[in-house]
Amino acid sequence: MISDARRNQDEIQRAHDLLMAALLDGEVRDRLLPGDAAAIASARLDALCWVLRHPSEKTLAKELKRITEGVDRMGLELRGDDLNRT
Q: Is 41 in contact with 22 (CB distance < 8 Å)?
A: yes
Q: In whole angstroms, give the CA distance from residue 61 to residue 58.
A: 5
Give alpha helix (H) positions in the chain. 9-24, 26-32, 37-51, 59-73
Where do the domains of the chain lie? 9-85
79 strand-pairing partners: 82
Give the model's pLDDT for residue 6.
87
Q: Please give the model's pTM, rounded to 2 decimal places.
A: 0.76
Per-residue pLDDT of the chain (86 residues; tens, 9 = 90+): 566 688 999 999 999 999 999 999 999 999 999 999 999 999 999 999 999 999 888 888 899 999 999 999 998 887 767 777 65
Give the model's pLDDT for residue 57.
84
